[in-house]
Amino acid sequence: MGVDMPDSAPRITAKVFELPLKYTWKISRNASDVKPNVLVFLSCQGITGIGEAAPNIRYEESAESTLAFIEKARPLLESADLKQYAHLGQEILDLGPGQTAAKAALDIALLDWNARAMGVPLYRLWGLAPARTPLTSYSIGIDELPVMQKKVSEARDFRVLKIKVGTDRDREIIEAVREVTDVPLRVDANEGWKDKHLALENIQWLAGKGVEFIEQPMPAAQFEDYVWLKGRSPLPLIADESVKGLEDIGGLSEGFHGINIKIMKSGGLQQAHHMISLARAHRLKVMLGCMVETSVAISAAAALTPLVDYADLDGHLLIAQDPFRGIGIKNGRIILNDLPGHGAVER
């Protein structure tokens, strides 16, 4: 009594998983065949919470910088009361700037641990109804047109697709996709159109092609052009690269109709939840997106989707062999399982 059992203090382990991709993943700015993500295991009192970081080079993150941040957080977490996750989540954010993927991994593990300790699915921490999950899109990366058509044909389980553009042959891409499917399309240019007049012309053309919205048509640095474009665009403009965390939302509605929140950008689930509330206060539509992630981070993000308008949680489907199993997708809709925590388990 009064003596700490060896297992009573939290322990963190982190491990790099080299995830091979099904297809070379190509968007307007880069291409990759393998994704090194960092999985975090947070154990205490016989319960292990699992988190994941998908480091992004755009935000000066790598597996190494992620592991370094986790080491920095180790003394805090290994001496903390994990049940005080709201305070602890903020203390993790306060450890230093950037490295939001590492922060997300720790926050996911922390919330997963808590939900498992309570014996409830993660979505119960926010009082959400699992049946209210939205449709999720499946993303088609840039490739040769027949390959893109093949990917579209393989995505029969989805009722909406997200098409990556931002090339010098964007209309050919959309025409080719339209030859093989009539589902609604979301179009993501990943900042590929550098001129506002070109962006408007492209969007006007896309408006006749069954497109639901356009994501990040121009570079994030061109905010004034977004203000100009929003006043003219026949399709909603969704910010992705233009918004990273909570601090970026103020003023954004002048140039955009909605935002793409990702837990790897926000620094975790708790911050993403705050972002959803703030976006609503600014009358922004909300999409919950992802990076290339295993079922751990995807299932964690999926727990928040009953709160959003659009989901784009397909990162685990781009991995050749996901080491984890979590959410399901049925008739294009996310199916949350009722396991305690985020519900992702090792295969």
Using CB under 5 A, list all residues that contact Mg ion. 188, 215, 240
Nearer Cβ to Mg ion, position 212 or 215?
215
We find the least distance from the C-beta atom of residue 191 to Mg ion, in angstroms, to be: 9
Asked whether the beta carbons of 328 and 82 are under 8 A apart, the reply is no
We find the least distance from the C-beta atom of residue 216 to Mg ion, in angstroms, to be: 6
Q: Is 195 left (phi over 0), alpha (psi -120 to 50) or beta?
A: beta
We find the least distance from the C-beta atom of residue 124 to Mg ion, in angstroms, to be: 29
Nearer Cβ to Mg ion, position 188 or 212?
188
- How wide is the angle at C-alpha 10 spanned by C-alphas 8 and 13, nearest 5°? 135
Cα–Cα distance, 307 to 305 (Å, whole number): 5
| E strand residue ranges, 131-219 | 138-140, 161-164, 185-188, 211-215
Q: How far is CA 311 from the centre of its chain?
A: 9
Nearer Cβ to Mg ion, position 112 or 240?
240
Nearer Cβ to Mg ion, position 69 or 213?
213
Name the strand (E) or helix (H) holding 92.
helix 85-93
We find the least distance from the C-beta atom of residue 308 to Mg ion, in angstroms, to be: 15
We find the least distance from the C-beta atom of residue 139 to Mg ion, in angstroms, to be: 9
We find the least distance from the C-beta atom of residue 340 to Mg ion, in angstroms, to be: 32
Q: What are the angstrom distances between the C-alpha of 138 and each of 51, 162, 186, 316?
A: 23, 6, 10, 11
Nearer Cβ to Mg ion, position 188 or 322?
188
Q: Which residue sits closest to Mg ion, CB atoms considered?
A: 240
Number of C-beta neighbours around residue 62 at 10 A = 15
Nearer Cβ to Mg ion, position 58 or 132?
58
First-last CA distance in the chain: 38
Nearer Cβ to Mg ion, position 240 or 293?
240
Adjacent-strand bridge partners of 50: 41
Going by C-alpha positions, the residue among 109, 106, 84, 82 that lies closest to residue 95 is 106
Burial class (CB in 10 A: 0-12, 13-18, 19+), 333: middle
Classified as helix, coil or strand, 300 is helix
Torsion of CA 124, 258, 218, 143, to 10 degrees: 50
We find the least distance from the C-beta atom of residue 190 to Mg ion, in angstroms, to be: 6
We find the least distance from the C-beta atom of residue 240 to Mg ion, in angstroms, to be: 4
Nearer Cβ to Mg ion, position 192 or 341?
192
Nearer Cβ to Mg ion, position 115 or 279?
279
We find the least distance from the C-beta atom of residue 238 to Mg ion, in angstroms, to be: 8
- List helix spans (H) across 207-319: 223-230, 263-266, 269-281, 295-302
Asked whether the beta carbons of 238 and 256 are under 8 A apart, the reply is yes
